[in-house]
Structure 1
Amino acid sequence: MSTNRPDRLTDRNYSLQSADEFHLALTEEQQTELERILFEDARTEHEWERGVICVITRSSGQNRVSFLVHDILDPADGDINYGGSVQFDADYRYEAVARAREVGDAAGLLYIHTHPNLTGDETAFPNPSVGDLNTAEKDLFEDANRLGDEAPLGIAIVKDTSRQWRVIGYEFDTPDTADDVGKAAYSPSSARTFDADCVRVVGKSLREYPTSKKTDGAAGAAAAISPDTQDSTIELWGEDGQRQLNSLRVGLVGAGGGGSILAEHLARMGIGELVVIDFDRVEPANLNRAQGASRADADARRPKVDIAERLAQLGGTAPGFSVDVYEASVVEARPQYGAIDRLLDCDVVIHAAEGEWPTRVLDEMAHAHLVPVISGGSHLHNTGGVLDENAYAQATIAGPGQPCQNCARHWRETAANDEMNNPDATGPGDYGLDEGAEGADETTGEDREPSTNSVNLIVAGMVTLRLQDYVLGVAGGQRGIRRFMPGTWSMEEGISSCKPGCPMKSLLADGDTHQLTLSNDPKYAKIRRDLNGGDEQ
């Protein structure tokens, strides 16, 4: 059944110790840059043991903490030395600390170095030497004293390529008083260490690499498959591809006409976990397009997330598939009504809700937290009931390596701000029908976007195919906007990159240092008042 936010979420989770999952995330461009620094022109064994310092930020979800690579500080000659272990020059480290301070309070440092493959075992994961660990404890404890206890700190060891990792996060208690200095509880040896479950690389595609921890399921990078229930899709993209899909945790924002279809079909495709967020209730006017909803659901004004949960549970094919639903808002700042932190636990998010404010928040999240967002929607321009050439159904991807939704004109600041303050403000695709006009909901008086299940099915199919392509490359690795024009039965391509100087790109990997544009959601408050006889609670 649907749930709101647990009380324990009133504070963000900043600690690796209390998190269930730990990821490292970076962009494709950063992965290419790291490969250049760490592996290019290496000729001897010790040249393979190279290093680099990255400024990182923290992304704090409900259950997952991710370290995001924010900046890569290209080392100069003498910045990295080898004396039985990789050693980072003091001036180079001071430069990194200064840069982390510039980024913000949730910024810290990640020390990366390489290990040669001396065993010949291509499947073996790298492990730090005793010297590496001793150096890491000392250096990172000094960094914690400079940056604060809450700064994200860690080391990463990479073997031969940037695709086999061991990532270790560190947490320390640093001395607060002179009496604390020198005590074992406030020393490098008091470090608490945590191995990362997965490395995510986000850009033109989404790739997840297992770490030496080899975590299975949605917390990691691979999962068990079911040859019985997934035989046809395994035939299409193979067992390895199905394992990747089965390991995905997908967020679904919106459980209406398109979202209800997606809830079932994402589960049937084989994702490992689905997180559904919507605060709306089923009404009679929804029944022409609400997949799985009955007249009894409409009469009871059942939460749409409950219908989505029912459909997903019936359709799930991945072993151990689970669905988690929240009757909540992604733009709501108050934890008891909001759910944005749960989306930060996801590998990718599907956006199937109306409104320019939610689109803006998810666009910011995609860039600041490196969680790509695939959006689907339609706009049924018509004249006298006949679709004209401007009617469309579309699917697009936002995030690193993809055009943002602002450049695609899917949200505008003035309209998003209006929605923040006005429960009756319309979103993209809302035509602004006059109250009481044909097409307005007779029950609530709210304007409704013209919609039909046939077009919703097309949108859901496009979104699902784009997810498959984004993760597995089954359709050529498409970028930007893809749009179907049902009035002319034609396909169009939209922008494939952002405009020059796009401000959204400046948010890349800002993590918790960026404040998402959240506030009190007036639309959700209005629904709560309607359900509770005028009481918002």
Structure 2
Amino acid sequence: MSGPWSVVMTGEQWDDLRVHLFPGDRDEHGAVLRCGIARSPRGNRLLVRDVVLAENGVDYVAGDRGYRKLTASFVADNIDVCADEDLAYLAVHNHGGHANVGFSTTDMASHERGYPALLDINDGVPVGALVFATGAVAGDIWLGGGERAEITHLRVAGRPQMTLTPNPLTAAIADPGYDRQTRIFGDRGQAVLAGSKVAVVGLGGAGSLISEYLARLGVGELILIDPDRIDPTNLPRVVGARRSDAMTWLRDPRRPAFLRTIGDRIAFFKVRIAARVAREASPTVRITAVPRSVLDSDVAAMLTDCDHIFLAADSALVRRLVNSITHQYLVPHTQVGSKVSVKNGEVTDIFSVSRMSSPGSGCLQCNGLIPAWKLTEEATSPEQRRRQRYVEDDAVHAPSVITLNAVAASRAVDDWLMAVGGLVEADVTRDRWAMYHPLVDEPVEVEPTQKPGCLQCGPSRFAKGDGATLPVLLHPAGATVR
């Protein structure tokens, strides 16, 4: 468990905890956070699964050696739950102040007295403490074997996204090339973009636009995932695609079958085209281009420590996977797409959609967007796992046009940008899914519903991190990531 430690919680959890710790009485209050754990090359994250508020005078009482303390019974009840469910235990209290906070010598002495025993009860799963000011947080994490770590930050994965640190961080002056953006977000906002790791799953019409937008905004790291090669029919919609990428001279219908087959096999991967466009847009962006299915277990693992996922692949299996990652690893995602419905040769509906889902909110499963029949169909057909599918007849290509994709892609990136840039209005704290129907010039917004006990966003998976299995396929032998 080497590497930095951080904490992630949902916006709703933060609201509950903030109101409890800072009700306006300028007094000290307490709570316990029970957390799943996620480990990755970027570090270790404690994912807040439960916020257990300590009742003043009952669970949080006058201390023997300090001002206040959690009662022994309250601690025992929570550490027992953590031990049973393999969760990390974090005791919480607050100090005064706003932008700076740290533990007192009395706090640290209490950690020395109590945390070795709690670590034993929790079978070596981390225990520790957080102390909050209104705009800051510090942490002391006990890892076993005499090791301890401080937290680098706490991230609130909500609307808006917030990052709390023990002390204010000085933002470097942004590249002058981003002058027009920093006039909106400031140097600190540009630094947030530069420090963001964002994935785009599906690099077709919508995904290729999103990838370019993110690169031009100055996002620091992109993970691009799509197993498909460019097809001549994709050229009008995939940003930066060239006829030579699609090997059109080999795939011309007038060519012999063996030449068309060669063209099919050597056409460029969509991720390669997207990576080329992103690098032309931003010479500093770090890109991992993965020409494989996101359903491969090792590829799916790459999404679990991203800061956001844009889902632009219309597959029920992929939707289920990304939906699971959002709630299991507290990584927000936005599902993006457009569709043209045709019946008897007549266009019956056209729409573009952007659905941003925050951890703990109503999910794609709750809202009927991962149909069981489609999961079954895709799971039994490798060809349909590989290809996007919009119409019932495999031989018919669905209608599509770049402008429809642009509407969805722009809305999706704007929603994310407002959230991470802190420009969301105070009353816009819940997800709202947006659709636009150009046939009738009608925008529609809906608030996603949440079903109790949902297997995707409910307690069976929520914030378990590495403690639950993702719905992936077996890793294919010999597959490579580049």
User: Which stretch shifts more, 268-277 or 400-409?
Assistant: 400-409
Q: Please state if 1:489 is matched with 2:461.
A: no
1:156 — aligned with what? 130
Distance 1:137 1:285, change over 3 A: farther
Contact kept? 2:83, 2:122, Cα under 8 Å: yes
Q: Deviations over 1:175-212 (max 9, x none)?
A: xxxxxxxxxxxxxxx2x222222211123432222344
Aligned to 1:360: 320
1:415-442 deviation line (CA, Å, top 9, x unaligned)? 224323321337885212243xx43xxx
The code of the aligned residue for 2:306 comes to: C
Query: 2:49 corresponds to which residue?
Result: 70
Runs of 4 or more, structure 1, over 6 Å off, are none
Shift of 1:30: 1.6
Percent identity (aligned):
24
How far apart are the structure 1 equivalents of 2:168 and 2:372? 43
Which of 365, 373, 381 is matched with 1:422 structurally?
381
After superposition, residues 292-441 of structure 1 pair within 5 angstroms as 292-299=240-247, 300-316=266-282, 320-333=284-297, 338-382=298-342, 387-388=347-348, 390-400=349-359, 402-425=361-384, 430-435=390-395, 438-439=396-397
Deviation at 1:298, TM superposition (A): 2.2
Structure 2: distance between partners of 1:137 and 1:301: 61
Amino acid at match of 1:244: V
Matches of 1:131 and 1:464, distance apart in 2:
46
Q: Paired residue for 1:111, among 91, 99, 110?
A: 91
**Secondary structure of 2:177's aligned partner:** coil
The change in CA–CA distance for 1:277 and 1:86 in structure 2 (over 3 A counts) is farther
* Partner residue in 1 for 2:421: 472
- Measure how far apart 1:348 and its partner are: 1.3
Whole-angstrom CA distance in 1 between matches of 2:191 and 2:380: 44
**Structure 1 counterpart of 2:72, which letter?**
A
Aligned-partner Cα distance in 1 for 2:127–2:278:
38
Match of 2:228 among 272, 276, 280: 280
Query: Deviation at 1:396?
Result: 0.5
2:210 matched to 1:252? no
User: What is the CA distance between 1:268 and its match in structure 2?
Assistant: 0.8
- 1:68/1:511 contact within 8 Å kept: yes
Q: Which is worse superposed, 494-503 or 241-250?
A: 494-503
Displacement, 1:165? 0.8
How far the C-alpha of 1:172 sits from its partner, in A, is 0.6
Residues 226-285 of structure 1 show CA distances to partners (whole Å, capped at 9, x for unaligned) of 352112222334444333333322121112221111111111122222222222222333
SS in structure 2 at match of 1:302: coil
Matched-pair contact (CA < 8 Å) for 1:420–1:519: no
Residue of structure 2 aligned with 1:458, choices 398, 404, 407 = 407
Query: What SS is found at the alignment partner of 1:343?
Result: coil
Q: Aligned in 2, Cα 1:385/1:199: closer, same or farther, shift over 3 Å?
A: farther
How big is the shift at 1:302? 2.2
Q: Distance in 2 between matches of 1:228 and 1:404?
A: 39
- Where does residue 458 of structure 2 map in the other structure? 505
Structure 1 spans left out of the alignment, 5+ residues: 1-14, 174-189, 215-221, 440-448, 533-537
Counterpart mapping for 1:40-189 below 5 A:
40-43=23-26, 47-48=27-28, 50-76=29-55, 77-80=57-60, 81-82=62-63, 83-84=65-66, 87-102=69-84, 104-105=85-86, 107-117=87-97, 122-123=98-99, 125-149=100-124, 151-159=125-133, 161=134, 163-173=135-145
2:383 partner SS: coil
User: Is 2:90–2:130's contact at 8 Å kept on the other side of the alignment?
Assistant: yes
Q: Secondary structure at the match of 1:468?
A: helix
Distance 1:252 1:101, change over 3 A: same
Contact 1:403/1:480 (<8 A) preserved = no
Q: Is the 8 A contact 1:256 1:304 kept in 2?
A: yes
3-state SS of 2:382 partner: coil
Change (3 A) 1:31 1:495: closer
Q: 1:223, 1:246 within 8 Å by CA — same for their partners in 2?
A: no
> 1: CA distance between counterparts of 2:148 and 2:359?
30
Q: Distance in 1 between matches of 2:126 and 2:222?
A: 28
Q: For residues 414 and 136 of structure 1, what CA distance do their matches in structure 2 show?
A: 53
Q: Is the 8 A contact 1:86 1:132 kept in 2?
A: no
Normalised TM-score (structure 2): 0.85
Q: CA distance change for structure 1 residues 127 and 146 in 2, over 3 Å: closer, same or farther?
A: same
Tell me which residue corresponds to 1:11.
Answer: none
> What SS class does the counterpart of residue 482 from structure 1 fall into?
strand
Q: Return the match for 1:236 from 184, 189, 197.
A: 184
TM-score, normalised to structure 1, is: 0.77
**Could you list the runs of 5+ residues in structure 2 that have no partner in the other structure?**
248-265
> Match of 2:127, as an amino acid?
L
Give CA-to-partner distance per residue, 1:77-111, whole Å, 9 cap, x none.
Answer: 25334323654332222101122134x22x12011
Residue identity opposite 1:470 in structure 2: A
Query: CA 1:152–1:331 in structure 2 vs 1: closer, same or farther (change >3 Å)?
Result: farther
Q: Is the 8 A contact 2:6 2:151 kept in 1?
A: yes
Once residues 86 and 270 of structure 1 are traced to their aligned partners in structure 2, the CA distance between those partners, rounded to angstroms, is 46
Report if the CA contact (8 A) 1:57-1:512 is conserved.
yes
CA distance in 2, matches of 1:53, 1:412: 38
Aligned alpha-carbon RMSD (Å): 2.9
Task: Determine if contact 1:367/1:509 at 8 Å carries over to the other structure.
Answer: yes
Q: Structure 1 counterpart of 2:359, which letter?
A: P
- Partner Cα distance (1:95, 1:360) in 2: 34
**CA–CA distance in structure 2, aligned partners of residues 208 and 115 of structure 1:** 18
Structure 2 Cα separation of the partners of residues 386 and 158 of structure 1: 60
Question: Separation in 1 of the partners of 2:320 and 2:180?
Answer: 37
Which residue of structure 1 aligns with residue 5 of structure 2?
A: 22
